[in-house]
Every structure is written in structure tokens, then in C-alpha cells.
Amino acid sequence: MHTFVRASTPLGARALDARWYVSGAVYEAERDRVFGRRWICVGRLEQIARPGDFFTAEIAGESLIVTRDAAGIIHAFYNVCRHRGTRICAEMAGTFKGSMQCPYHAWTYGLDGKLIAARNMETVEGFDRSLYPLHEAVSAAFEGFLFVNLAADPEPFESAFAPLVGRFASWKIAELKAACRIHYELACNWKLVFQNYSECYHCPLIHPQLDKLSPSDSGFNDLTEGAFLGGYSTLRNPGASLTTTGHSSRRPLGDVSGENLGRVYYYTIFPSLLLSLHPDYVMVHYVRPRSAARTEIDCEWLFDPDAQAGADFDPSDAVEFWDLTNRQDWRVNELTQAGIASRSYTPGPYAQAEGLLHAFDRHYLHLMAE
């Protein structure tokens, strides 16, 4: 059993100084200390369901080729040819026909990253193909999600994610499939997205359609320190769902039952994923910083594949509800970014409902000080 508590903040807790949101130097430091050393979510296993399937991902300015080899093993290769550094793959996704070839001089690599052909290099004395495999980042799978770590000696995934193991078992997330994805581009710092997601103090003003279905003051949290933060909010009515109609004809996911039928769980998976667990669907935000004041987000809705196979399956009630909610958030996040950039900005005090924001700040500042 997990213990759930109300959000709270210690006396004197305040928001972060402006530089953490607007400084280019801070952003560059984050690319190394946060995104270059932590486990970053890049997508879902279903994107590389078969050997040769691939997609490219960007982490901390690095391009990676995420693929599956003939043995089914997942790889995250740096998108850099071992010959003269040319980017091998320019496509965002697709399927390799058994190998990967550099477009410059046709050095060719197997799906396991080994160099299998290097044109005209047989005349180079001492050249050994086995010494030139693609460089690879460490990868791991969790609940159907793919995570990558660029660090030379990363914290083992099993220990880093120990607090989450088994926590989401009832939803059977690994079995779900994406039904819709929407791409957003925001003129704000990525941390504002995480912080906004972690409180509903703003909900009655910004999200009247959400507050109508789920009280803004109903939140309780069970993860309140460290890399993973969050808890649940309740639904106002039994059998309700966060959709445009306020209800759903879809069956609950997996083994979701009892009190979880009346709750929506919201967790931040630092520093790249927002995870929302609903009784009948799961929503995911992949958060990708692009500069100190620019963030890209892909929002994805996951449903039971059996439900998706039904002739009457229609995810639009959930998608439209959250697309509206997302855009409301993005607008106020951009307004916050603009205000923080003012010379008049000074950090204000956190409300009690913003306890997870203060926890986020502590974890973030700890990493930035390392």
C-alpha cells in the first residue's frame, strides 16, 4: 500500500530565480548534467515492433537511431558514421532492409551496429572492420516505454526506476497501443511544463472543463521526493471519465478496479515524461527541450488494442478533451515564460498546493550542482 498525502510546502519556499528559465548558459549545462546523464524516454516499443524498424531521437543535441536487430535486441546507436562522422539516417522513422548504410561513402552496418562493409578499405594496411562498430548508448524498456542514457557509466536502470516497479501494474501499460499523437511547439522552458503539470491550483481558472469533472482540490500524492513525483485526483462522479462527454463507454484498462475507477493518476518521470493514468486510457507527454525558451511536446493517447479493434472505437472524446486542456496550459506557460524574462521578476512564494513544484526544484538544483 502507498501512503497518499496532501501537497504542502515548507515555510519560505519560493519559485526558482529567472536565470534557471531564461539563461542559455543554464540550458547548455542542463544538456550535460540533466539530459546527458539521466534516463530519457524516447518512445514506445511498438514503434520498433519488428527487426529493422527504427526511429530517430534527439537527446542533448545528439541524434540517435533506435532500432531492433534480427535477434530482437534493442539498440540506440549514435547517428554518426565511424568513417568521417556523416549522419547516417536522415529519416524520422522507417524500416532498414537488413543493414544501415552511410550516404557519403557507403560504409554499411548490420542492425547490431557492426561494420559489415567499407568500400575500398581493404587496401588500407591494418584496417580491421571489427574495430569500427557504431557507438551505442545504453537503453532499457519499462512498461512498453523505451529509455536511453547517454552517460558513459549511467546509474543502472533497475535501481534508478526501482520506485516505479510494479506501481502501474493494474493498467497493463506495456500491452496498450497508441491511437493518436499530437505534436506541440511551445515558447517556454521545459521546466515550466513539468511544474504546471504538478499542480491544480490553476485548474479552476485555466481548465473549467477539467474542474467540472475532477475537483481541483482533490489531489493526494504518494511520490513527493526525487526524480518521480505525483499522485491522484478524484473524479466527481462514479463512472466518469475525463472526456468531452464526461463519461466513457470503454471498459476499464487491464485490472483497474475499485477506488482506481474514480481516480486519475498523474506522475512526472524526470526529466522527459509526463504519465497520466485514467481508468480507460493512458495519456503520455514526451517533453523535449530545444532551447532555454522553446520546448517540443508529443502527446500520445494509449488504449487497449482489443478496444481499438472494435468497429465503434473512437478516441476523439479523450483526445479532444486533452488537446483543449493542453493548449490552455501551453498558453499560460508561455505567458509565464514571458513574465519571468522581465527585469521586474522576483520569485514569489509557493502555495501549499504547489508542494510538488518545490520538490521538483530541489531535485533539479541538486543535479545541476553535481
Both 306 and 226 in one domain: the answer is: yes
Q: What is the CA radius of gyration of the chain?
A: 22
Both 272 and 298 in one domain: the answer is: yes
Both 49 and 78 in one domain: the answer is: yes
CA dist., res. 66 & res. 147, Å (int): 10
Instruction: Indicate the number of domains in the chain.
Output: 2
Both 225 and 322 in one domain: the answer is: yes
Backbone phi, psi, residue 78, to 5°:
-65, 135
- CA 277, 183, 210, 3 torsion-angle sign: positive
Both 270 and 350 in one domain: the answer is: yes
Residues 29-71: tens digit of each pLDDT:
999 999 999 999 999 999 999 999 999 999 999 999 999 999 9
Q: Report cis status (omega within 30 of 0) of the bond before 252.
A: no
Both 124 and 151 in one domain: the answer is: yes
Both 149 and 177 in one domain: the answer is: no
Last residue within a domain, chosen from 94, 126, 158: 158
Residues 178-220: tens digit of each pLDDT:
999 999 999 999 999 999 999 999 999 999 999 999 999 999 9
Helix (H, G, I), strand (E, B) or coil at 162: helix
Q: Does a structural domain hold residue 258? A: yes
Helix (H, G, I), strand (E, B) or coil at 197: helix
Query: Residue for cell digits 557519403?
Result: 104
pTM of the full structure: 0.97
CA dist., res. 57 & res. 269, Å (int): 18
**Adjacency order of strands within the sheet including 108-110:** 99-101, 108-110, 115-117
pLDDT value for 2? 84
Position 158: which residue type? E
Both 190 and 325 in one domain: the answer is: yes
Residue 264 has pLDDT above 90, yes or no: yes
Residue 173 has pLDDT above 80, yes or no: yes
CA dist., res. 83 & res. 236, Å (int): 61
Q: How far is CA 248 from the centre of its chain?
A: 26
Both 235 and 137 in one domain: the answer is: no
Helix (H, G, I), strand (E, B) or coil at 312: coil
Q: Does a structural domain hold residue 14? A: no
Q: What is the CATH number of the domain that holds 44?
A: 2.102.10.10
pLDDT value for 238? 83
DSSP output for 83-151:
TT------SSEEE-SSEEE-TTT--EEETTS-EEE-TTGGGSTT--GGG-PPPEEEEEEETTEEEEE--
Helix (H, G, I), strand (E, B) or coil at 218: coil
Last residue within a domain, chosen from 158, 178, 201: 158
Q: Does a structural domain hold residue 49? A: yes
Q: Does a structural domain hold residue 216? A: yes
Q: What is the CATH number of the domain that holds 252?
A: 3.90.380.10
Both 144 and 188 in one domain: the answer is: no
State which residues form the domain around 297. 168-369
Give the rounded percent of residues in the chain with a pLDDT score beyond 90: 99
pLDDT band at 276 (very low <50, low <70, confident <90, very high): very high
- 54 and 95 in contact (C-beta within 8 Å)? yes
Pairing outcome for strands 108-110 and 263-269: unpaired
Residues 112-163: tens digit of each pLDDT:
999 999 999 999 999 999 999 999 999 999 999 999 999 999 999 999 999 9
Contacts for 245 with CB less than 8 Å, ≥ 6 apart: 317
- 60 and 36 in contact (C-beta within 8 Å)? yes
Both 152 and 172 in one domain: the answer is: no
- 21 and 340 in contact (C-beta within 8 Å)? yes
The chain-wide mean pLDDT, for the chain, equals 97
Both 207 and 352 in one domain: the answer is: yes
